[in-house]
Amino acid sequence: MSDERRDGAAWARVVSAVLPGLPQLLRGRVGSGGILLTSWLLLGAVFVRGPGHVLAALTGSWDERVAGWTVLAGLIAVWTWSGVDVKRSHEASTRGMSQWQLATRAFSKNRMAVVGLILIVLLYLVALVTPLIAPHHPNEQYDLASMRLIGLSATHPLGTDQLARDVLSRILYGARISLSIGFVAVGISVTIGTFVGAIAGFFGGVVDSVIMRFVDMVISFPRLVLLIAIVAAFDRSFFLIIIVLGLTLWPSTARLVRAEVLSLREREFIQAARALGFSKRRILVGHLIPNAVPPVIVAATLGIGNTIVLEAGLSFLSLGVQAPTASWGSMIADGRAHMFNAWWLSTFPGLAIVFTVLAFNLVGDGLRDALDPRLRS
Amino acid sequence: MTSGTAVAPNDEATSVTEGRRGGDLSRYVLRRLVGAIPLVIGISSIVFFVVHLAPGDPARLLLPPGGGDQDVIDQIRRNLGLDQPLHIQYVKWLGSFFTGNFGYSFSQGAPVRAVLANTFPNTLLLSGFALAVAFGVGIVVGTIQAVRQYSAADSILSVVLLFFYSMPGFWLALMLVLMLSYQARNIWEWPIWFPASAMVSSDFGDLSSVGRLADRLWHLVLPATALSLSLAAGIARYMRGSMLEVIRQDYVRTARSKGLPERLVIFKHALRNALSPIITMVGVYIPMVFSGTVIIESVFAWPGMGRMIFDAIGARDYPLVVAGTFFFALTVVLANLLADVLYAIADPRIRYESDV
Amino acid sequence: MSKTLLSVSDLRTWFHTDQGVGRAVDGVSFEVRAGETLGIVGESGCGKTVTSLSILRLLPEPPARIEPGSSIVFDGEELLGATQERMRALRGNEISMIFQEPMSSLNPVYTVGSQITEALRLHRKMDRVEARTEAIRLLGEVGIPDADRRVDEYPHQLSGGMRQRVMIAIALSCEPRLLIADEPTTALDVTIQAQILELLADLRARHGMAVLLITHDLGVVAEVCDRVVVMYAGQVVETGTVDEIFARPVHPYTRGLLASLPAVERRGQRLESIPGTVPNSTDWPEGCRFAERCSEVEDACAVQQPLVQLGNTSRVARCWRADP
């Protein structure tokens, strides 16, 4: 038995050295195996296709440096992680597992959620190494007379647009806008929402009613109208859009955290902390907020998807990041004028949005199921 | 009492208070309405200040680019009342609001009231239709999924719904126009295609009343689909969860233990309970639909308020923007109230709770 | 001896989940005779509720599955092969059931009356007016005052005891021959428990139905049952009449249960308790399932002991120490 396991580990280590993630995949651990293997293949392909490019990028522009270092560091990290991982014994029993370990296990059993997670990891990697993989520069215009609105071809896999730019490259660069806006805006709103909600729920009374009246007001308002009003009113920049999205999103998080804190407040372990004479601040920061984290994580993941759609909507109304910077929403808007003779212009950026948002929603659903002890049974 | 049971019925007193009767319900509605006034004023005020603090001069926007000298601009500003300090403008605006006078829209060249009267009903038609479709489809699909939990149909529907849920409405709108309007009509030559713009056909005046209704519905199909599909998917997801929760309840088992057919167990006993949380979601969904109309009305050239607000923001037409958002906010507040009343009707326990 | 109304033999209801197979009910046999009250006693997790739900086939399948080889015969008819339609004709009509939680067993959005009339209109084909009159009569019969007003009230307007009376009225409405009562008094205050038990005993005497009473409380058994089945870890460990079980318990588990009852003659002494807890149903121990909690365990307990018939009585016990 132990011999067999040792043989198995030796075999796994050899495989892991060549294809990190494969041993985990073969053992049925789709989550870690899939992420490691696809990252390895993606970054490896970028490196093998042009090792010179990658090395040159290390000293190039800011953009290229990030890409180059991502490739190298990513490859090393994946290789090491997989090597260390296969050495460990995987025969952990359910007893003695922490809540987070249990949740991880439940999450990795959910195939769709794991697929979503792999997709997100790949999307972020692609966004980071875009300068090394995009076939063309996103704003590079080819001959307007002959290269406008060319359909799908080998040199332009997703065609060219009305200004003879490569659609695929623009989509790849546009991913950076969507992913970073989604991530940062949700980060801002979750931070504000958590604190405001926790304060309202914990202190109650007048504080609670004032805060919640305000939250009700913001929630019952069509968000896009508010966004349009603010964005149209000021000079639009990448940062303004991130901040405005972040500042209009927090009320729903606040509502969620408040509800969670209200129910936690009555639970025994909080009563116990009170009976022990802990300070209010310590109870709030040390006990209430950490326990409200799981629902917030779920809401945040689903919120990233919503924010990406919202940002695309603003860009579609030409209120997003300004031209010529490629963003998925503005690409769809630009394609609209040529929709009937160049269908690919609007179609592919839209599909990029759908699959990105889908990935976040799959992971959000998976997290919700995994973090809810009632559903784990 | 008809029998002589030996057991005396002196259980604990029926402590639950007597129900709120009809009069109480209307008092409750009135109280909610009064409570909503500061909410609506607050929202409009925020919009008022945001729009007014914005850089950009509406007077210049009225003139051709580069045209007009300073005197003309000053004259326009005076006429529009824009030369006065912001707080004076605000007080004036607030005052005129209470008299039902929403001011004059300088970009449309008409009183705001008239502009709203022309556009608001169109938006209500579109968003009301979209909401009805979204709730209808969402509730049916979610129920089917919950009843068939663990089946292949449930898993497939879940993925399909998540796909639609992740789809931006404006992109769906373009795809619908491309496929079901343009391609279907001109390339594939399908017998059925749908119009991609306007609310009625040009020959609307010549149609019979049935023909008019059909023409209106025909024009509603694409914009309403674009507006409601992701909403319907969201409602279905929510409904599935709610229904799964309910069919685990003891009273559903009780219904089965009486020998009721499964159809009655689900559609009579489970559905009505599962609907309660969905009804309260109306308050979240209506602002979402209104947000959607801003984009969808622009795509489909629908002469509604969403598109009008968008244009008005671009033209810095303050009175129109503020009055438009006021009406959006008012509708949301009223819809929330309606949802609460429906909720109280659907769930008899709610009516007896004393406060909001 | 009156004839057998319900005969359960070798019933095995297993739950097939990701965590393994939970053998919640694992080879249970007993019978209920017409007109008698049979008690099934055991701790929570011993499979008594699953047994009762299996009889009416009310368990969600999957994850539950009644394994082949099991048999439930009601009045000569095998229920495990019956169609869903046939089962529906029996439920609420020939066999009805009341549950543990009166607070959640009634549908909150319908009036008490409409929940009673449902079964009447379905099984006894009454029209609306007849059904309503009958519902009011039934409410009176189960001891609800002011029945013609209460009939239009919602469950939340009634107290827990009242709601359990309503559940009993629903269960009684079609004059069933077997009433399954799953912990009908557990969720109620002690004084109301006594009233409900008295009501059940009274109604049984008047209607001549058999009652299968599921409980964890031997005190309740002593009050209302004729015979007792003691269950432990998905199996029957001992059966007998109430007098026999209380006077001469054979299985150490039954003795443990009895010793943990307070009694006047042992005033001032500490109450006994059985150490440990019921093992997990996915993971029953080999051999005797009670062995690890048993004070009289011996080597032979590592091997499963089949039920032993005691003398020439109808009593059986699942223990090496039971004298044949």
The tens digit of pLDDT for each residue in C185-240 reads 777 777 878 888 888 888 888 888 889 989 888 888 888 888 898 888 888 888 88
User: What's the pLDDT score for residue B5?
Assistant: 36
Name residue, tokens 């999205």. A245
- Mean pLDDT to the nearest integer, B277-298: 85
For the ranges A217-221, B333-337, C43-47, the lowest mean pLDDT is seen at: A217-221
Nearest by CB to residue B291, choosing from A216, A222, A339, is A222
The residues, any chain, with a CB within 8 Å of residue C241's CB and separated by 6 or more, are: C226, C227, C228
pLDDT winner (highest mean) among A108-122, A225-239, B96-110: A108-122
The residues, any chain, with a CB within 8 Å of residue A151's CB and separated by 6 or more, are: A159, A342, A344
Max Cα–Cα distance, chain A, nearest Å = 79
- Mean pLDDT to the nearest integer, C99-124: 85
- Mean pLDDT to the nearest integer, A156-183: 83
User: What's the pLDDT score for residue A88?
Assistant: 66
Q: Which residue has the higher pLDDT, A358 or A72?
A: A358
User: What's the pLDDT score for residue B14?
Assistant: 37
B4 reaches C (C-beta below 8 A) = no
Residue A356 pLDDT exceeds 90: yes
pLDDT winner (highest mean) among A280-289, C47-56, C307-316: C47-56
Asked if residue B30 is part of any domain, the answer here is no
Q: Give the mutation candidate from B156, B157, B162, B288 for the A interface (greatest A CB count, under 10 A).
A: B162
**CB within 8 Å: C19 and A377:** yes
Q: Which residue has the higher pLDDT, C258 or B20?
A: C258
Computed over every residue of chain A, the mean pLDDT equals 80
Query: CB of A367 within 8 A of CB of A304?
Result: no
Q: What is the pLDDT of residues B35-63, one digit of tens each?
A: 777 777 777 777 777 777 766 666 666 66
Residue of A nearest to C20 (CA): A377
Q: Which residues are registered as beta bridge partners of C16?
A: C21
User: What's the pLDDT score for residue A96?
Assistant: 53
Interface of C with B in 166-225 (CB under 8 A): 167, 170, 189, 192, 195, 198-199, 202-203
For the ranges B89-93, B277-281, C263-267, the lowest mean pLDDT is seen at: C263-267
C28 reaches B (C-beta below 8 A) = no
What residues in B contact C202, CB-CB < 8 Å? 5-7
Strands C71-74 and C308-309: unpaired
User: What's the pLDDT score for residue A377?
Assistant: 42
Residue A8 pLDDT exceeds 70: no
Residue B126 pLDDT exceeds 90: yes
What residues in B contact C157, CB-CB < 8 Å? 14, 16, 19
For the ranges A8-17, B48-57, C9-18, the lowest mean pLDDT is seen at: B48-57
**For residue C305, which phi and psi values (nearest 5 degrees)?**
-100, 125
Asked if residue B231 is part of any domain, the answer here is yes
Q: Which residue has the higher pLDDT, B8 or C122?
A: C122
Residue of C nearest to B343 (CA): C109
User: What's the pLDDT score for residue B273?
Assistant: 87
What residues in B contact C158, CB-CB < 8 Å? 14, 16
What residues in C contact B249, CB-CB < 8 Å? 104
- Mean pLDDT to the nearest integer, B254-260: 87
Residue B136 pLDDT exceeds 90: yes
C-alpha A270/C-alpha A9 separation (Å) is 46
In a 3-state reduction of DSSP, which class is residue C275? coil
Q: Give the mutation candidate from B254, B260, B263, B275 for the C interface (greatest C CB count, under 10 A).
A: B254
C-alpha C85/C-alpha B293 separation (Å) is 50
Max Cα–Cα distance, chain B, nearest Å = 100
pLDDT winner (highest mean) among A352-356, B76-80, C291-295: A352-356
Residue B84 pLDDT exceeds 80: no
Query: CB of A315 within 8 A of CB of A333?
Result: yes
Confidence of residue A353 (pLDDT cuts 50, 70, 90): very high
- For domain C4-94+176-284, the CATH superfamily is P-loop containing nucleotide triphosphate hydrolases (3.40.50.300)
User: What's the pLDDT score for residue A97?
Assistant: 59
**CB within 8 Å: C17 and A377:** yes
Q: What is the pLDDT of residues C118-166, one digit of tens each?
A: 888 888 888 888 888 888 888 888 888 888 888 888 888 888 888 888 8
**For residue B264, which phi and psi values (nearest 5 degrees)?**
-70, -35
Residue A372 distance to chain B (closest CA, Å): 13
Return the number of CB contacts < 8 Å for B and C. 120
Confidence of residue B131 (pLDDT cuts 50, 70, 90): very high
C-alpha B131/C-alpha B141 separation (Å) is 15
Residue A201, both tokens: 């729920």
Return the number of CB contacts < 8 Å for A and C. 3
- Mean pLDDT to the nearest integer, B261-284: 85
C-alpha B187/C-alpha B228 separation (Å) is 27
Q: Give the mutation candidate from B148, B250, B257 for the C interface (greatest C CB count, under 10 A).
A: B257
Nearest by CB to residue B174, choosing from A226, A339, A358, is A339
The residues, any chain, with a CB within 8 Å of residue B179's CB and separated by 6 or more, are: none
Taken in order of first residue, the domains within chain A and their CATH numbers are 3-133 (no CATH), 144-375 (1.10.3720.10)
Per cent of chain A over pLDDT 70 is 91
- Mean pLDDT to the nearest integer, C46-73: 85
User: What's the pLDDT score for residue C307?
Assistant: 72
In a 3-state reduction of DSSP, which class is residue C228? strand
The complex's ipTM works out to 0.83
What residues in B contact C104, CB-CB < 8 Å? 249-251
How many domains does chain B contain in total? Answer: 1
User: What's the pLDDT score for residue B8?
Assistant: 36
User: What's the pLDDT score for residue B17?
Assistant: 38
User: What's the pLDDT score for residue A1?
Assistant: 43
**Residue A156 DSSP symbol:** S
User: What's the pLDDT score for residue A374?
Assistant: 58
**Residue C144 DSSP symbol:** -
**CB within 8 Å: A109 and C18:** yes
Could you give the angle at the alpha carbon of A60 between the alpha carbons of A56 and A65, nearest 5°?
90
Query: CB of C150 within 8 A of CB of C89?
Result: no
C-alpha C248/C-alpha C42 separation (Å) is 18
Residue B277 pLDDT exceeds 90: no
C82 reaches B (C-beta below 8 A) = no
Name residue, tokens 């009176």. C140
Per cent of chain B over pLDDT 70 is 86
Residue C18 distance to chain A (closest CA, Å): 9
**CB within 8 Å: C162 and B251:** no
Q: Which residue has the higher pLDDT, B120 or C280?
A: B120
Q: Where are the domains of chain C?
A: 4-94+176-284, 103-175
Instruction: Report the C-alpha dihedral over residues A224, A226, A229, A230, rounded to 10 degrees.
Output: -110
Nearest by CB to residue C104, choosing from B16, B251, B347, is B251
Chains that touch C (3 or more CB pairs under 8 A): A, B
**Distance of alpha carbon B59 from the chain centroid:** 34
What is the residue range of B236's domain?
Answer: 40-353
pLDDT winner (highest mean) among A111-120, B63-72, B187-196: A111-120
Query: CB of B51 within 8 A of CB of A233?
Result: yes
- Mean pLDDT to the nearest integer, A44-69: 81
Residue A212 pLDDT exceeds 90: no
The pTM for the full model equals 0.81
User: What's the pLDDT score for residue B4?
Assistant: 36
Read off the CATH number of the domain in which B291 is found. Answer: 1.10.3720.10
Residue B20 pLDDT exceeds 60: no
User: What's the pLDDT score for residue A230?
Assistant: 76
**CB within 8 Å: B258 and C157:** no
Residue B213 pLDDT exceeds 60: yes
State the SS3 of A331-377. Answer: HHHHHHCCCCCCCHHHHHHHHHHHHHHHHHHHHHHHHHHHHCHHHHC
Residue B154 pLDDT exceeds 80: yes
Q: Which residue has the higher pLDDT, B271 or B95?
A: B271
User: What's the pLDDT score for residue C264?
Assistant: 67
**For residue B110, which phi and psi values (nearest 5 degrees)?**
-155, 160
Per cent of chain B over pLDDT 90 is 16
C-alpha A264/C-alpha A274 separation (Å) is 13
